[in-house]
């Protein structure tokens, strides 16, 4: 199925590793021009070098800096020639006992996981409205924003907030032909889960909670990202797509 992404301009934040890297690769494979955004230049350069077609363009940005984040829409237009899609994937998940947690860390989680989405989405939407061509925004959230998780109170709260932001913006911007959706991943075998995947006992315990009895591979998020980035999903907005092997479906 041709999703019609050839030549589209896409921003993917948190693209240097994990699900962001997988999303950038999948979109580039569909012919999109991708502005791959992260803090680590070396990892971005490595990602771009893997892409023989030269359609992945690295860009360093600190998602805690609102001016840098706000500028991403203009950077994408300048470097890619157009902007059609934003994939808000960047996020942090520091584990901490909330009784002992310094609230400055809570603020940082909210800044990266919620405020950066709001700032970039607003900048992109203003561009979409100005061009009159609409656009798509995809927010990568988490099942922790649906169920909550001990020692990840700030992360869980931020992802829940991102889900509600997704729904509110979808309702507000549908008349501008802007679709806003979210993807809520469960257990994926990314670098962030290396402690789990490298420890057989911990892995076995984690997998027992998943009806599919396995963790997902990062590239399994790619097809869903590509679908939601395409005009095939133009009547899909305000949705939260859970991709977790059935974990949140069970009692």
Name residues of the chain where pLDDT drops below 70.
none
| pLDDT score for 1 | 73
Encode pLDDT of 85-114 as tens digits.
999 999 999 999 999 999 999 999 999 999
Indicate which CATH number applies to the domain containing 13: 3.40.50.720
In a domain, 224, yes or no: yes
Domain of 130, in residue numbers: 9-192+220-242
Q: If we measure between CA atoms, which residue out of 176, 171, 162, 140 comes closest to residue 18? A: 140
Give the count of beta carbons closer than 10 Å to the beta carbon of residue 12. Answer: 34
In a domain, 211, yes or no: no
Contacts of 9 (CB under 8 A, 6+ apart): 32, 33, 35, 76, 77, 80, 81, 82, 83, 84, 85
Candidate list 155, 173, 188, 227, residue with the active-site label: 155
In a domain, 201, yes or no: no
In a domain, 248, yes or no: no
| pLDDT score for 94 | 96
Q: Is there a catalytic annotation at residue 155? A: yes
Structural domain tally of the chain? 1
In a domain, 44, yes or no: yes
In a domain, 116, yes or no: yes
Q: What is the pTM of this model?
A: 0.97
Within 157-239, strands assigned E span: 178-185
In a domain, 204, yes or no: no
In a domain, 213, yes or no: no
| pLDDT score for 251 | 76
- In angstroms, how far is the first alpha carbon of the chain from the final one? 36
For residue 44, give the 3-state DSSP assignment: helix
């Amino acid at each position: 199925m041709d999703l019609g992404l050839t030549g589209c301009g896409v921003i993917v934040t948190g693209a240097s590793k994990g699900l962001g890297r997988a999303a950038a690769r999948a979109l580039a494979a569909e012919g999109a021009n991708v502005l791959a955004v992260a803090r680590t230049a070396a990892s971005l350069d490595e990602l771009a070098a893997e892409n023989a077609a030269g359609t992945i363009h690295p860009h360093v940005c600190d998602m805690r800096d609102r001016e840098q984040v706000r500028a991403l829409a203009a950077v994408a237009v300048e470097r890619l020639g157009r902007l059609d899609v934003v994939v808000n994937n960047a996020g942090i998940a520091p584990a901490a006992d909330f009784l002992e947690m310094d609230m400055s860390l809570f603020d940082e989680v909210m800044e990266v996981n919620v405020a950066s989405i709001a700032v970039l989405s607003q900048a992109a939407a203003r561009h979409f409205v100005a061009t009159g061509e609409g656009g798509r925004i995809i927010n990568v959230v988490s099942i922790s924003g649906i169920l909550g998780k001990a020692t990840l109170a700030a992360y869980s709260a931020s992802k829940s907030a991102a889900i509600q932001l997704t729904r509110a913006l979808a309702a507000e911007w549908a008349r501008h032909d802007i679709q806003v959706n979210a993807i809520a991943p469960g257990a994926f075998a990314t670098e962030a889960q290396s402690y789990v995947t490298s420890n057989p006992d911990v892995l076995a315990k984690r997998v027992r909670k998943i009806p599919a009895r396995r963790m997902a591979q990062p590239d399994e998020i790619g097809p869903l990202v590509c679908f939601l980035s395409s005009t095939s999903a133009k009547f899909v907005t305000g949705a939260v797509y859970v991709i977790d092997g059935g974990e949140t479906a069970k009692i």
